[in-house]
Amino acid sequence: MTQESLTEKLATHLMRPVDEATRQRARLHLLDWLGCVAGARQSEAATLAFHKFQEDPIRKSIWLGNVMEMDDVHRLATLHPGPVIWPCLLGSGPEPMSDFLDNAVRGYEACIAVGSTFDSKHYRYYHNTTTAGYFGVVAATFSYVERTNNKRQLVSAMGLAGSVAGGLWQMRNEIGHTKQWHIAHAIETGTNAAIYSWDEVIGPRFILEGPQGLYAATCENPKPMTFPDQWRIHEVSFKPWGACRHAHPAIDAALELKAKLGALDGDIHVETYADAISFCDRPDPQTVIEAKFSLQHAVAVAAERGVPQLADFEPDAIAALADARARVTVSEAGEITTRYPEHYGARITCGEEAIELVDTLGDPERPLSKEGIIDKARALIAWGGLASKESDRAIDLALNGDDPAAIHEMLSEWLS
């Protein structure tokens, strides 16, 4: 094959300079990830990680970044870049803050660029965060210093990583830690692919679109890869509440309808897109993770308690809201599914009144403010049992700091 491959086009796209405004955006995502890690310090996953990786804070953080279900998300790619990109960078050794942020932006870009091409068949079976995450890790950990073979080696690294990319959704049907394992495996494999490429180990150029490549194996109708001028980290959403993102549109709509009516009494009906039903139609959750993936519970929280708090998905709340959940029914609305994944929406009906939202809070159309992102980080850090001064420390290091090593040191103290 003599034509230019998709990974060659992507490599060219990744090697352009990063502007200062985009670096500042990356700092907000760094703070968001740090909050998610801190919030999970006292979780079951933390107990496992602390035992397994006693002296390695970065490996611990890999296991904690997505536990709270508050990690950032890209709608079109239906994946979470933060838990993959930040720990791989912090584990790759000392570097100037500008390079650290630039490589984070490139990691987000590669992850989203690839993930946005996957179709509904791929997402039905594969965990996009890891399938595309391998490419993001390569882009984040690759050395962009000037070298004769720089682009060719980046293409090889993505080819190597893509040749083993995967991550099946069977974990959604069973209790376990597979979701965390997926992230750890993507980081380890993507990092090694970048290292091997520098030693002239050659990977396939057409790993995505080749006759036995990733698309042929996992997709029916892959979408075209695009190369916009703006870095795609600006398209990534921040999650305000500790539940699956597919539950957020219903929460948002329920809060608005409650504000209009004063209360949500009687039966409540949720209409939303098909993937939200597939992931989150769970009328009787028994565990914290099941509650976070329950439309019924999420809407019951909004109806009974208002704006969801972290405690609202814990065992006491699960038991207390059983009657409220029983009032909530869910179904797919075809027109809302048609707008997805470009728009995550929902319609809530209670009695004779209904509210429909096309986009949800935290998406680019309805962004979470900088102050909202900071407040979210503070709440998560407090939830994780850390002192308020650690919130100030994290905010300063992420938003104003010039030394990634200081962030590594902070994580070492948090996760000791």
State the residue range of the domain holding 342. Answer: 245-357
User: Does 341 sit behind a cis peptide bond, omega within 30 degrees of 0 on the bond before it?
Assistant: yes
Contact 276, 295 (CB under 8 A): yes
Q: Which pLDDT score, from 0 to 100, does residue 52 have?
A: 87
Residues 198 and 346 in one domain: no
Residues 24 and 103 in one domain: yes
363 occurs within a structural domain = no
Residues 207 and 267 in one domain: no
CATH number of the domain residue 319 falls in = 3.30.1330.120
- Rounded to whole angstroms, the Cα distance separating 190 from 154 reads 11
With H, G, I as helix, E, B as strand and everything else as coil, classify residue 277: helix
Packing angle, helices 404-414 and 82-90, rounded to 10? 100
> CA angle at residue 76 from 72 to 80, to 5 degrees?
25
Which token pair is 151?
A: 């682009």
DSSP symbols for 400-415: T---HHHHHHHHHHHT
256-264 LR contacts (CB < 8 Å, sep 24+): 256/348, 256/355, 256/357, 257/348, 257/350, 257/353, 257/354, 257/355, 258/302, 258/303, 258/306, 260/353, 260/355, 261/350, 261/351, 261/353, 264/302, 264/303, 264/350
1 occurs within a structural domain = no
Residues 73 and 198 in one domain: yes
- Rounded to whole angstroms, the Cα distance separating 364 from 359 reads 9
Residues 142 and 278 in one domain: no
Burial of 187 (0-12, 13-18, 19+ CB in 10 A): buried
Contact 208, 117 (CB under 8 A): yes
> CA angle at residue 109 from 107 to 111, to 5 degrees?
70
Helices (H), 220-333: 248-261, 274-280, 288-292, 295-305, 315-320, 322-326
104 occurs within a structural domain = yes
First and final CA of the chain: distance in angstroms?
51
Q: Which pLDDT score, from 0 to 100, does residue 302 have?
A: 98
> CA angle at residue 204 from 225 to 3, to 5 degrees?
60
Q: Specify the pTM.
A: 0.95
Residues 58 and 159 in one domain: yes
Residues 80 and 222 in one domain: yes
Residues 253 and 399 in one domain: no
One digit per residue, the tens of pLDDT, for the chain of length 416 reads: 569 999 999 999 999 999 999 999 999 999 999 999 999 999 988 898 888 888 899 999 999 999 999 999 999 999 999 999 999 999 877 789 999 999 999 999 999 999 999 999 999 999 999 999 999 999 999 988 665 569 999 999 999 999 999 999 999 888 889 999 999 999 999 999 999 998 899 999 999 999 999 999 999 999 999 999 999 999 999 999 999 999 999 999 999 999 999 999 999 999 999 999 999 999 999 999 999 999 999 999 999 999 999 999 999 999 999 999 999 999 999 999 999 999 999 999 999 999 999 999 999 999 999 999 999 999 999 999 999 999 999 999 999 999 999 999 999 999 99
> Of the candidates 168, 169, 400, which has an alpha carbon nearest to the alpha carbon of residue 278?
169
Residues 232 and 117 in one domain: yes
Q: Which pLDDT score, from 0 to 100, does residue 91 have?
A: 83
With H, G, I as helix, E, B as strand and everything else as coil, classify residue 329: strand
Residue 8: other Cβ atoms inside 10 A: 18
Choose the final residue of a domain: 337, 357, 377.
357
Give how far the C-alpha of residue 224 lies from the chain's centroid of Cα atoms, to the nearest Å: 22
> Of the candidates 68, 2, 55, 18, which has an alpha carbon nearest to the alpha carbon of residue 311?
68
Residues 49 and 182 in one domain: yes
